[in-house]
Chains A and B, each alone.
Chain A
Amino acid sequence: MATTLQFALPSIAGRRRRPDSRSINRPVRCAADRQALFNRIAPVYDNLNDLFSLGRHRVWKRMTVSWSGVKEGDTVLDVCCGSGDLAFLLSEKVGITGKLRFEGVIAMKFDQTDSYLTEALCLELVEFWQDLRVIALDFSREQLQIAASRQSERSKACYKNIEWIEGDAVELPFSKSSFDAATIGYGLRNIVDRRKAMEEMYKVLKPGSKVSILDFNKSTSSLNSSIQDWMIDYIVVPIASGYGLANEYHYLKNSIKEYLTGNELEKLAGEVGFSEAKFYEIGAGFMGNLVATR
């Protein structure tokens, strides 16, 4: 799920939630807690991403898609799809194809006067089979509903080739070696059992295919870490408090601290079985993208 969590926006309906002092420092540990968190922020998630990254998250996501190696005609997977940003970008790359099956009768007629052969076709469309191209999975029902709404509002035909699945990144419901490429945007950091998620990704990718994983960078630079902490403490959380979502964005800071560094991510990918793994720092070092090859 694209859990940028750069900003906490108040609830869209304007309702204010009184901060629960008992839970301010309660860690968002288990998967159920995180699922509930992303359900709560779903209505404001997209706007927050734009606001807090000043639109830059769109650039980073395009880079992620590019690194995945996706090309026209591929079947691709986006895990932790959230409201669908990466899925829409992937669908533009893979395009849309389909098959039509007709049954019917061809009647032929000769026009003897002019010696022309004329023919009449009477065909009935009996099946439309649209090739599967983009599968997008998330465990937040609310995020998926928003993604599906965005899909129906968009006019480009390629967006119709996205299928949304409610599922768990650590128990992927896909056959082995199904996908030509995969992406995860701001999702791996929020998965409790990251090794299991990487193992699942490995299994569902075809040999030689890549997974491209975008997230906050747990920097080894103390300056970068300090700036990240400051931005969360003095920009993100105060704004979030106004919307009653302070706790949700406290989670962001802790989740970055508990995440893996670039080197650790490369090591994990290698341990799981990926033949190559390379981590790229982007966004002035505040973001990072792991590219792992099956």
Chain B
Amino acid sequence: MVRRSGVLLKKVAAGISSRLAEILVCPLTKQPLRMCDKTNSLISDSIGVSYPIVDGIPRLVPSDGIILHSDQDLNSSDPPQTNSS
């Protein structure tokens, strides 16, 4: 008997897959990005820029990046995701 965890499946579908989040890097620094579930964006901590995800499509053209002006902006996002594979 298998029951599906609806909450978890919904979580995976909301943003982008964790596997995709692993392969993506900041287009400017080529450093890893951090997925932020609260803002549904990818954070480049090295330069303090947030790249939005809209309708499941990450916007990673450099000009799409939004500068995070304060430590609060940076800290308001989720802590770094660990690899759950």
Q: Which residues of B contact A120 (CB under 8 A)?
A: 1
B35 part of interface (Cβ distance < 8 Å): no
Q: Which residues of A contact B30 (CB under 8 A)?
A: 175-176
Question: Are A126 and B8 closer than 8 Å at their CB atoms?
Answer: yes
Interface residues of B in 1-52 (CB under 8 A from A): 1-5, 8-9, 12, 16-20, 23-28, 30, 32-33
A24 part of interface (Cβ distance < 8 Å): no
Question: Are A171 and B28 closer than 8 Å at their CB atoms?
Answer: yes
Residue from A123, A124, A141, A163 in contact with B20 in the complex, judged by beta carbons closer than 8 Å: A163
Question: Are B27 and A167 closer than 8 Å at their CB atoms?
Answer: yes
Q: Which residues of B contact A66 (CB under 8 A)?
A: none
Count of B interface residues, CB-CB < 8 Å: 33
B84 part of interface (Cβ distance < 8 Å): yes
Question: Are B61 and A175 closer than 8 Å at their CB atoms?
Answer: no
Question: Are B61 and A132 closer than 8 Å at their CB atoms?
Answer: no
A120–B19 Cα distance when bound, in Å, is: 33
Query: In the complex, which residue of chain A has the Cβ closest to the Cβ of B44?
Result: A173
B contact face: mostly helix, strand, loop, or mixed: mixed
**A84 nearest CB across to chain B (Å):** 12
Interface residues of B in 41-80 (CB under 8 A from A): 55-62, 64
Question: Are A127 and B24 closer than 8 Å at their CB atoms?
Answer: no
Query: In the complex, which residue of chain A has the Cβ closest to the Cβ of B63?
Result: A168
B82 part of interface (Cβ distance < 8 Å): no
Interface residues of A in 163-181 (CB under 8 A from B): 163-168, 171-176, 178
Given contact pairs A127-B84, A173-B27, A163 touches B2 in the complex (Cβ within 8 A): no
**B57 nearest CB across to chain A (Å):** 5
Mask, A125-145, CB within 8 Å of B = 1, is 111111110010001010011
Query: In the complex, which residue of chain B has the Cβ closest to the Cβ of A131?
Result: B19
Given contact pairs A165-B58, A166-B58, A174-B23, A125 touches B5 in the complex (Cβ within 8 A): yes
Question: Are A164 and B57 closer than 8 Å at their CB atoms?
Answer: yes
Q: Which residues of B contact A173 (CB under 8 A)?
A: 24-27, 33, 58, 60
**A230 nearest CB across to chain B (Å):** 37
Question: Are B64 and A166 closer than 8 Å at their CB atoms?
Answer: yes
**B71 nearest CB across to chain A (Å):** 25
**A196 nearest CB across to chain B (Å):** 12
Query: In the complex, which residue of chain B has the Cβ closest to the Cβ of A103?
Result: B5
A124–B8 Cα distance when bound, in Å, is: 11
Query: Which of B's residues lie within 8 Å of A, judged by CB?
Result: 1-5, 8-9, 12, 16-20, 23-28, 30, 32-33, 55-62, 64, 84-85
Could you list 16 A-B pairs, sorted by A, with CB under 8 Å?
A120-B1, A123-B3, A124-B3, A125-B2, A125-B8, A125-B9, A128-B8, A130-B19, A132-B17, A139-B61, A167-B27, A171-B27, A173-B25, A173-B26, A174-B25, A175-B30
With A128-B8, A165-B57, A175-B23 given, name 7 new contacts (CB 8 A).
Answer: A121-B1, A123-B3, A125-B8, A126-B8, A132-B20, A165-B58, A171-B61
